[in-house]
Structure 1
């Protein structure tokens, strides 16, 4: 079995189509890719994919194999990245990832800690979705990430930074904009825009909130991320639920309002690979509590346990 077989299988499984995987991701022909998948199934000894008229679906065995194939490829990526870093021992770098918008709150305080410890270190930044950040940590492409506690993040540890209350975002001219707080029954009557397409942890929190309130929030529109969801709110006249840090990203034609009662909260964590040998990373982790206190004391957004009022 070769690595290319694993890459081909993962591409087909994620695309749900041999044709799409061949054309959009692998730059190969459909017959050639189909042959490679058949060879892989023959070597594994079980059927991994069900061929259907409109694409392919995973068998039970295929779903299990997919998780292991992804992990194997991530381990190869991590090994490659580790080797490259080892070949450049004098190049001190720290790679940090953020969910879009979070860097506004956390980066200034984090950079202060980094400069106090290692003023000459090269810092690189990237913005990705929370699941993508977890994968980058697993692959050794990031040293540190501000994300959600994603499941199946093998070898990644999480340090709780904050429990972020959710708030409602709606158009400035919306009838509910005159309210200081918005109740779940108000939300249930409005066009709902999902802000959690690429955040399964956030989606789970919103679903639990809706279930406990006895309402249904069925998304009519789905944003790729929080920023695009707020744009959809402005254009559709609907409402969405987002973590409180998203106040940093509000366009001028939408407003944020707190939720009635005890608002649902989503965990924000600091993620890092347990096997990462970076001495700077280890020193920063010992100062994680200093980072939390610094943000709580100085940020315009207070990550407090009490309900947060937003205007």
Structure 2
């Protein structure tokens, strides 16, 4: 029994026609295909197809044989692919992570830095919240991440940008009539602030509130930007968030800058010094190119 016999049989079974299988799937003549099927049935020792004016149908033996024929062909294909993978030299991989939303600005720049390397590497990209990125980098699941400088991880950080904080509010909030929001506008408002899980952002917000003598008790704490925007829209509250939120605002949420010199939060690339990836070395050597002109 040859593989071509199996392929011919599967084609006929799936099309329900010797003529269609011959002309559209196998590009052979119908008489030749009929002979191949008869040879297969002779070798198997059972009729696999019943022929009628309506075409061909599988016999009970044919239905059983079809399952095994498909499995055999799949295993042959898998064996060939496995052999080809072994024969091809594997490309090194480079795993990039992004604080969710930051990839809009920084993925094109990161790929530009690696442009010369791209034909020789496989790049994977994922987005998560900053603490999760720090954990993934420290565990070696990511080579480098655009994130916050999370404490408690043995990572190296390089600042790529300083983002001002902005005020998020419902699109129909009275403060949307103002061009910017000052401390005097905070009184009497519902507030959604970063929780202590968002360590870096909460520290920046607390310092801003302290320096401006703003005493507010947050009505809700959130771990991430998506949760903040959802609560802003649903509760009518305000929330201080990094300016990259503007990339992700739904129609129901608006943002306004803060008056004066707003507080800023660092966006960094984080990586492990123990990572020996050649691609990481290239990336870090071109760091100035990454941040140039931003």
CA distance, structure 2, for counterparts of residue 92 and residue 173 of structure 1: 50
CA distance, structure 1, for counterparts of residue 181 and residue 264 of structure 2: 16
Tell whether 2:248 aligns with 1:227.
no
* Larger CA deviation: 134-143 vs 118-127: 118-127
- Once the two structures are superposed, the pairs formed by residues 127-138 of structure 1 within 5 Å of their partners are 127-138=127-138
The corresponding residue for 1:204 is: 203
The corresponding residue for 1:39 is: none
> Is the CA contact (8 Å cut-off) linking 1:159 and 1:270 kept in structure 2?
yes
> Is the CA contact (8 Å cut-off) linking 2:149 and 2:267 kept in structure 1?
yes
CA distance, structure 1, for counterparts of residue 196 and residue 117 of structure 2: 37
The corresponding residue for 1:193 is: 192
- Once the two structures are superposed, the pairs formed by residues 1-311 of structure 1 within 5 Å of their partners are 90-154=90-154, 156-196=155-195, 198-293=197-292, 296=294
Instruction: Quote how far apart the aligned CAs of 1:136 are.
Output: 1.2
Instruction: Quote how far apart the aligned CAs of 1:185 are.
Output: 2.5
Instruction: Quote how far apart the aligned CAs of 1:119 are.
Output: 2.2
Instruction: Quote how far apart the aligned CAs of 1:196 are.
Output: 4.8
Instruction: Quote how far apart the aligned CAs of 1:118 are.
Output: 2.9
Alpha-carbon spacing, 1:108–1:198, altered in 2? closer, same or farther (3 Å): farther
Deviation sequence 1:80-102 (CA, Å, 0-9, x none): xxxxxxxxx83411111111101
For the residue of structure 2 that corresponds to 1:255, the secondary structure is: strand
Instruction: Quote how far apart the aligned CAs of 1:115 are.
Output: 2.5
Which consecutive residues of structure 1, in runs of 5 or more, have no partner in the other structure?
1-88, 297-311
Deviation sequence 1:136-176 (CA, Å, 0-9, x none): 1111111000111111211x100111111000010111010
CA distance, structure 2, for counterparts of residue 202 and residue 190 of structure 1: 20
CA distance, structure 1, for counterparts of residue 119 and residue 187 of structure 2: 51
For the residue of structure 2 that corresponds to 1:210, the secondary structure is: helix
Alpha-carbon spacing, 1:217–1:105, altered in 2? closer, same or farther (3 Å): farther
Deviation sequence 1:249-289 (CA, Å, 0-9, x none): 01011111000111000111111000100111111111111
Large movers: runs of 4+ above 4 Å: none
CA distance, structure 1, for counterparts of residue 183 and residue 190 of structure 2: 13
CA distance, structure 1, for counterparts of residue 153 and residue 187 of structure 2: 34
Q: CA RMSD in A?
A: 1.7
Instruction: Quote how far apart the aligned CAs of 1:197 are.
Output: 5.3
For the residue of structure 1 that corresponds to 2:114, the secondary structure is: helix
Alpha-carbon spacing, 1:109–1:187, altered in 2? closer, same or farther (3 Å): same
> Is the CA contact (8 Å cut-off) linking 2:91 and 2:120 kept in structure 1?
no
Alpha-carbon spacing, 1:148–1:188, altered in 2? closer, same or farther (3 Å): farther
Which consecutive residues of structure 2, in runs of 5 or more, have no partner in the other structure?
1-88
TM-score scaled by length of structure 2: 0.67
For the residue of structure 2 that corresponds to 1:97, the secondary structure is: strand
